[in-house]
Structure 1
C-alpha cells in the first residue's frame, strides 16, 4: 500500500466519524469530536482532498447539522483540492447560499463563497458559475456574504452578464449601504464593459481591490498540487512533454511506420523536444528547439504539434506530406493491410482534432474514396442513427459544424467557379427533413435551438456577398417555421426572427436593382413561400391579422380554412373581449405578453405622479382610457416600438429585427 493510499484510507475513516457525529448533539456523543476534526484538518493541510473526499466534505458543510461552527470552519479553511473541482461540488455550494432553515450559517456561507474565489482557477468548468450568475447576483442583498459574493461575481462577470436591471440593482444597494466598497468594486467591473452606461459619481467611491483572500493558503494549495502531480501521477499528460510511449499507445500495431519523437545530431547550443517537460521551459526555449529527425511524429505527439504551430516550417510540412503520400499510395494500391487504413484514419482524426487543421493533401485522398458527399453521409448516418432523438440531434450538430467549415473554406477560395455549387443547397435540403423529424421526435426548446443553430449558419453563409454570387439561397421548410413560431418559447421566436431577417437581407441583396445575379429556377419557386411565412408572422405579431389570408402573400399559417372559426369560437368562450386575430400580437401573445406589460410597468415607474396604472393587456383603446383616468400618456405606436426596444434590451432582439426588416412603415420610423 502506497503512502497516498494509506492517507486516503485514514482520512476516509475520519470523515466517517465526523459524518456520524454530525447527526448527534454534543451530549449524545460518546467522545468529543474535536480531536477527529483536528486530525482531518491536518490531513487536508498535508495532502489535500481527492475528488470523492472533497464531495463528502462539501456535502457536510452545505447542510445544517449538529457540528459546532468552529469544527466546520476548520474543515473549510483546510479544504485544499488535490485535483479539479467538479461541477457538482460547485453547484452544491451555490445551492447552500441564502436564507433557509436547512442552510448553513451565514458565517459558514461567507467562508464557502471565499473558498470558491480561491479555487476558481481549479474549476473543472468555469462556465458553471456563469450559469448560476443570476442566483449569485440575487444574493447580494445578504450583507453577511456580500463582500465575498462581489469578489466571486467580479471573477465571473462577462459582457453578457452586464444588464441595465443589474446595474440599477447594484446602484440601489450601494445607496442603501452607504457605497459599500465591495459593491463599488463590482460596479467598476461592470463599467469596464459598458463605460457609456455607468456614469456620475457611482464608481468614484472607495472600492474593494478584489485581491486573493489568503496568499499563504494559495501557496499551500500550489505545493499540494505539485506534490500530487509528482508522486501520484494518474497518467494524464499535460501536452508539454514528448509522448515517449507513443509506440505502445498506438492502437494500430501494424502501422509501424509512424515514429516517435527522436532528435539526432542535435547541436550543443540547441534544445531538443525530449528535454521539454513543462510549458515555462518550452516558452523560454521556443527558438532554440531543434526539430526532430522524423517530423511525421507530429500526427500523434501534442508537443511537436505545438512547436510546428508556433514555429511553422515549410520544409517540415513538405516532409510530412511526403510520408503521408507514401502511406496512402500503399493503401490505395492494395499493398497495405486493410486495417492499416483504419489506423491511419484514426491518427489523422486525432491530429485534426488537436490542431484544428485538415491537411490539404488529405482532401484529394478522401475524394478518391468518396466521390460524392452523399455517398459519404449515407454510411455516416446509418452508423450514427439508432432510432433515438439524441442521435438525431448529434447528427444535426455535425451538419451544423460541417456547414460552418464549408463557409470558411468557400470564403477562402479565389476561384469560385471551381466550387461544387450544388453541395450547400443539397445539404440544406437534406437537413430540412431531419429538422422536421426532430420537431416530432423531440419537441422541446433545446431541440428547437439546435435546429436554429443550423439555420443561423445558413443565414450567415448567405449574408456574405461573394458567396451569394455563386451559391443558391435555400430556405427552411414552411412547416418548420410555423412549428417554431408557435413553440411557446421566446428564445426560439427571437432566434427564428433573427434568422428570417438575415435571410430577407440576402434575398434583397440578390434581387435589388442592379441585381447581383439572376434568380435560379429553384430560388424563384422559393421566394413566394418565403414571403408567405414572413407576412404570416408579421400578421400575428404586428398587424393584428393572425391566420388571415387577404393580404398579398399571406398564407394564414397554412392551417385549414375551417379551423379559424373554431378557434375564434373557443377563444370567445374563454375571453369575450379577445379576438383571434390579435391573440398572437405583442400584448396578448402567451410568449410576448409578459415582456410587453413589463415595458409599461417600467414606464409607469419612471413617472413621479400617476393616478392609474394599466392592468394589461394593452390595446389601442385601453391606452386612450388610461390617459383619461390620469394614467400614462402613451400612443399606440410608441407603445409597440417601446416593446420592441424592451425585447432588445432583454436579449431578444430577433423579434424587432424581423419587424424592422419586414414592415416598411416601421423601418421608415426607425430611420
Structure 2
C-alpha cells in the first residue's frame, strides 16, 4: 500500500509541474485514485508531508483537485511538525500563496487533526502569525477556531484584546470573533466586560464528526497492523480541553478546567504545557473554578496529589455523591452512573483513592454486571481498608451478586478483582508507619474469604484449566508476599490455603503452574518461619494449620526428591490427601503398564509429567559437556528416564559417570538456569542435603547418598 501511495503521489507531483494543456494525459483520474486510497488507508507521516507540500506550494493543479486532496488527508499516526509549518507558512495574501478557499480548507483540517499533532506547541509558537491574519475575512471563521484551540493565558494580552474588540465592531460583531473573545474572557473576566461577548457567537464545534470518525478508524486499524503501535499517550502536563467528549448526556457532563477569577499576577493550569513549567509554578497555581474536572484531567490530578486541599477533595466527593442521589431518586438513569464511573476510573487510578462508595451502592441496584465492567472493578479495587464484615455486607456481596452468573468465567473475573484489591490493600499497609493497625485483620478476613472461591475455581474450570490455575496463583503470590512480612500478620490462620487446592495445583499438567506453586510455598515457609520464631506460644488452631502446611512441604518433597510419592509414613506426610484404597489401585495400575517403575517414583524429577522433558534435556547437556571434554570418549548415551539403577548400569557400559544425587542436583540447577526458579527455591529451603550442597559448592564436598531429610516448621 505504501508503494501505491508513493507511485500516485509521484505521478501527481510530476503532473502538477506542467500546465493542464501541456500534460500528455488528464490528471483527474490519478487524483481520484489518490483520494480514494487516502480515504481507505490514510497517509503515512512522510506521505502526509509531501501531500501538504503539494497543496501549499505553487503548482499547476486546479482548485477542485487541491480541495479533494485536503479533504482526504487522513493521517495514520501523529501529524509531523513539518506539515504544520507548511500550512502556517502558506497563509495570507500573495501570488505564491494558495487561494483563500484552499487556505480555509487547510485551517479546517488543522482543527480536525489538532488532537493528533506531533508538536502542538508548533501552532502555539505561531500564535502571533495566525492572530495577525484575522483581518482576512475569507479565512476568519476557521482561523478563530484554530486560535480558540491553542489560546492559553500567556497569549491573551491587552493589545490583542483591543485588536479583536476593534475588529468585532468593524465587522458588526462577527460570531467567530465573538467566540474568540469569550475564550479570552475565560482568562481575564475582569477586563472583558460589557455587551461585546453577549451577542451571537461561534460554538467552535468539530467541523465534521463523520471525518473524525473515519480518522479514528484508520488510526486504530494502522495501530493494530503495526509491530509497535504508536498509541499516542495523553499528555499528562496539559489541560484536557476535550474532557466533555468523554461523557454522554448533559446530566453527567463534566466541566473542563477553567480558572474564571484569575488575577493578573496569578498562574493558571491552562497556561501549562510541559513538566518544567508545572514544577516551577507548583505553589503559585490558582485552583480552577470547577474542581470536579479533576476526575478526568491529568494535570489537575497531579496538582491535587502534590498540593492536597481538603476543601477541594470534599467538593469532588459531594459532586459524585450528588450523581448517585440523582440516580437513586430516579432523576437520572443507570447509563449516567456508568458514564461517571468510566471517567472516575482515571481519577482513581491516578490518586489511588475512591471519592465515594455511595456511588457504587446505588450502582449495584441498577447494574447488569456487564456494562463498563472493567472500569467498575478497577475503581472498586481501590476501596479503602475497613471492617471486613461491614465492607462485605454493603459493597462486596452486592458486587458478587451482580458479577457471578454461575459460570467459571465470572468466578475468574471476581477472583482477579479480589487479587487487585488485596494488592492495593497490602501496598497501603506497607506504606504506612504503623503496620500493626487494627485494619490489618480485614486483610486476613479477605484472604480467608477468597480461599473458598479459589478452591471452587480450581474444581470447576474445565475449559481453560491452566489459565484458571495461573489466576489463582496470582492471588496467592500476593498473599505470600504479605505473609512474608512478619510485622504485619502475626496470625497463621489466613496464610494456609486449602489442602485440596494445593494438591490440585501440584498435579497440574503445566510446569509454569507447578513452578509458581513451589515459589509461593517457599515464600510462605520463609514468612511463617519468622512468625513462629517470634511467637512464644501458638494456639491449637495455629498448630493444626501449621501441621497442614508442613504436610504440603513433605508431600511435594516426597514426590520430587525423595521418590516416595503418596507416602504417609513420614512425620507430617499426608500422602497428598489421596485415600489408601486409591493409592492401592494406582499401584496396581502402575505395575500393569510398567513393572519396572513403581508408583512412588513416577513423580520424581525424571518421571514427573511436567519435569521429564527438562530432566532429559539436562542429561543430554551433561553428556555433550562430557563429549567435549573427553574428545568423544563416551560410548553410550542414556535413553531416559534416569534412575539410580540406570545411572549405575550406564557407568559400567562406558557412559556418563554420574551419581544419582549429582544428577538430581544438576536437574534442579538446570531448572533454575531456565527461569523455573520456584522448584529449586522450594527444594533449597526444605531439603537439608541441598542446603549443604549450596553452602559447600565451593569446597568440592561429596553429596550424601541418602534421600535427605525435609526441613519443616517446628511448633
Partner of residue 657, structure 1: 681
Partner of 2:258: 262
Counterpart Cα distance in 1 of 2:349 and 2:383: 21
- Match of residue 449 from structure 1: 470
* Structure 1: stretches of 5+ with no match in the other structure: 1-6, 15-34, 52-79, 85-121, 123-227
Bigger-Rg structure (1/2):
2
Conserved? CA contact 2:258–2:290, under 8 Å:
no
Contact 1:546 1:581 survives alignment (8 Å): yes
What is the alpha-carbon distance in structure 2 between the residues aligned to residue 365 and residue 638 of structure 1? 52
RMSD: 4.4
1:550 pairs, out of 563, 569, 573, with: 569
**Is 2:571 the partner of 1:562?**
no
Alpha-carbon shift at residue 238 of structure 1 (Å): 3.6
Match of 1:401 in 2: 420
Moved more, 625-634 or 541-550: 625-634
Counterparts of residues 162-173 of structure 1 (less than 5 Å): none
The answer as to 2:506 corresponding to 1:485 is: yes
Q: 1:434 Cα deviation (Å)?
A: 1.1
Contact 1:48–1:81 (CA under 8 A) maintained in structure 2: no
Pick from 291, 295, 299 the counterpart of residue 296 of structure 1. 291
Distance in 1 separating the partners of 2:331 and 2:452: 35
Once residues 672 and 611 of structure 2 are traced to their aligned partners in structure 1, the CA distance between those partners, rounded to angstroms, is: 13
- TM-score, length-normalised on structure 1? 0.60
Alpha-carbon spacing, 1:249–1:339, altered in 2? closer, same or farther (3 Å): farther
C-alpha displacement of 1:482: 0.9
Shift of 1:587: 0.8
Question: Secondary structure in 2 aligned to 1:436?
Answer: helix
1:312 paired residue number:
306
2:495 to 456, 474, 489: 474
Aligned position for 1:495: 516
Over 3 Å counting, the alpha-carbon distance change for 1:424 and 1:517 in structure 2 is farther
SS in 1 for 2:671: helix
Deviates more, 1:352-361 or 1:364-373: 364-373
- Structure-2 separation of matches of 1:558 and 1:500: 17
Spell out the pairing of 1:368-517 with structure 2 (5 A cutoff): 371-443=390-462, 444-469=465-490, 472-512=493-533, 515-516=534-535
Residue 670 (str. 1) matches residue 694 (str. 2): yes
Are residues 510 and 340 of structure 1, via their aligned partners in 2, closer, same or farther at CA, if it must alter by over 3 Å? farther
The CA deviation string for residues 258-304 of structure 1, in whole angstroms up to 9 with x for no partner, is 6431123445677644456xx6x565565358444326234333243
Q: Which of residues 626, 638, 642 in structure 1 aligns to 2:650?
A: 626
Give the conservation status (yes or no) of the 8 Å contact 1:421–1:470.
Answer: no
Distance in 2 separating the partners of 1:582 and 1:454: 32
CA distance in 2, matches of 1:606, 1:576: 33
Between 1:606-615 and 1:416-425, the stretch displaced more is: 416-425
Contact 2:668–2:679 under 8 Å retained in 1 = yes
Cα 1:422–1:284, aligned 2, differ >3 Å: closer, same or farther? closer
Aligned-pair CA distance for 1:384: 0.5
Following superposition of structure 1 onto structure 2, how do residues 52-63 of structure 1 map, counting pairs within 5 Å? none
**Alpha-carbon deviations, 1:393-422, whole Å to 9, x = none?**
110001111111111112123334542343
* 242-251 or 534-543, larger mean C-alpha shift: 242-251
Q: Bigger CA drift: 630-639 or 466-475?
A: 466-475
Q: How does 1:592-631 map to 2 (within 5 A)?
A: 592-607=611-626, 608=628, 609=632, 610-631=634-655
Residue 65 of structure 2 aligns with which residue? none
The change in CA–CA distance for 1:396 and 1:497 in structure 2 (over 3 A counts) is same
Q: Return closer, same or farther for 1:452/1:517 CA change in 2, 3 Å cut-off.
A: farther
Correspondence 1:86-105 to 2 at 5 A: none
The answer to whether the 8 Å contact 1:263/1:291 transfers is yes
Q: How many Å separate the matches in 2 of 1:642 and 1:308?
A: 56
User: Structure 1 residue 536 and structure 2 residue 532: aligned?
Assistant: no
Question: Per-residue deviation at 1:42?
Answer: 6.2
**SS of residue in 2 equivalent to 1:643:** helix
The change in CA–CA distance for 1:287 and 1:452 in structure 2 (over 3 A counts) is same
What's the TM-score, normalizing by structure 2? 0.57
The 5 A counterparts of 1:195-274 are 232=215, 238=234, 242-244=239-241, 246=243, 250=247, 253=250, 259-266=255-262, 272-274=268-270
Distance 1:527 1:554, change over 3 A: same
From 24, 41, 47, the counterpart of 1:49: 41
Please state whether the residue corresponding to 2:390 is helix, strand or coil. Answer: coil
The one-character-per-residue Cα deviations of 1:305-357 (angstroms, maximum 9, x if unpaired) are: 35417x8223xx22312314655887999999576898687378334444142
Which residue of structure 1 lines up, in the alignment, with residue 134 of structure 2? none
Measure how far apart 1:584 and its partner are. 0.3
Matched, 1:587 2:606: yes
2-side partners of 1:334 and 1:465: how far apart? 46
Please give the alpha-carbon distance, in whole angstroms, between the structure 2 residues aligned to 1:531 and 1:364. Answer: 35
User: Aligned partners of 1:323 and 1:500: how far apart in 2?
Assistant: 47
